[in-house]
Structure 1
Amino acid sequence: MPARVMFVQLKTGHPLDQGPAWVGWVHFTKSWRTAHFHDRTLQRVTGTAGANNDANFVDAETREEYWISGPKRDRSDARYSSQRPIVEDDARDVYEAFLSGARLPGRENG
C-alpha cells in the first residue's frame, strides 16, 4: 500500500475545524479510495459529505467523518482555525524536513 505523511482531522462531533488533528503516515489502497490510519479503515467520500461538506473520508465502521490532505508548509492545515495537529513520532523527521523545504516521500515529482 502506498503510504504518505498526511494531515488528518476528525470532523464528526466537533465545530468546524475544531476536531482533533494529526500529521502522520496514512496507508492508501492502490485505488486511493481507502485509507488506513490509527487502525481505522476510511473510505473516500465523493460529492457532498457532512453538514458542512467538510469531510472527504468516512470511517467504514463508525461512519465518523474525516478530512485527509497533504500537510501545508505554512501549517494552515485547519482552514478555519489556528489549531496545530499532533505530529506522530514516526512521521516527525519527515514532517520537519518538509517544513524546512524538502519534498514529502511519494511526492518527489509534485
Structure 2
Amino acid sequence: MPKTRIMYVENKSASLNGPARIGRVTFSKTGKSIGYGGRTFQSPKGSGFKANYFDVETGERFWISGPRKDGKDRLYAESSAPIEIDPDVAEEYWRDIRGQRSE
C-alpha cells in the first residue's frame, strides 16, 4: 500500500500566493514523486525558486510541505488568500495537526 500523508499544496505558477489546499498526497515507491488530485509532482532538484515541486505534465510550479500546527502554511504569511481543505481529510487535519477537538 502506498504511503500517504496530509500535506499543504500551493500552486506557485501564476504568483507567489497561488491557490492552496490541504489534502492527502501519495508518495511513489521510490519517494521521488508525489501524487495529488490526479497530478504527479517531482522535485526540480534545487532549480526551483519559491517552489519545491513541479507538475510533470504541465511544468507548473508548486510548494508542497507538511501542514503547520499554527495554520500559517503559506510561504508568504501576509497573504489572506483562503486555503481550502479537502473534505476527506478535514476531520483528521483539525484533530491531529491543528489539535482542535470537535464537541
Question: Normalising by the residue count of structure 1, what TM-score does the alignment of the two structures yield?
Answer: 0.81
Residue aligning to 1:38: 37
Asked if the contact 1:34–1:43 (Cα under 8 Å) also holds between the matched residues in 2, the reply is yes
Residue aligning to 2:4: 3
Percent of matched pairs sharing the same residue? 35
* Inter-partner Cα distance in structure 1 for 2:31 and 2:92: 21
* Inter-partner Cα distance in structure 1 for 2:14 and 2:75: 17
* Inter-partner Cα distance in structure 2 for 1:48 and 1:27: 23
User: Which of these residues, 69, 87, 92, is aligned with residue 94 of structure 1?
Assistant: 92
CA RMSD of aligned residues (A): 1.5
Moved over 4 A (4+): none
Unmatched segments (≥5 aa) in structure 1 = 103-110
Question: Normalising by the residue count of structure 2, what TM-score does the alignment of the two structures yield?
Answer: 0.87
Asked if the contact 1:76–1:82 (Cα under 8 Å) also holds between the matched residues in 2, the reply is no
Residue aligning to 1:23: 22
What is the deviation of 1:31? Answer: 2.1
What CA deviation, in whole Å up to 9, does each residue of 1:34-70 have, x standing for no partner? 0111100111221121xxx111111111000111000
Unmatched segments (≥5 aa) in structure 2 = none
Q: Secondary structure at the match of 1:94?
A: helix
Q: Secondary structure at the match of 2:89?
A: helix
* Inter-partner Cα distance in structure 2 for 1:87 and 1:76: 14
* Inter-partner Cα distance in structure 2 for 1:84 and 1:74: 15
* Inter-partner Cα distance in structure 1 for 2:13 and 2:70: 25
What is the deviation of 1:101? Answer: 6.7
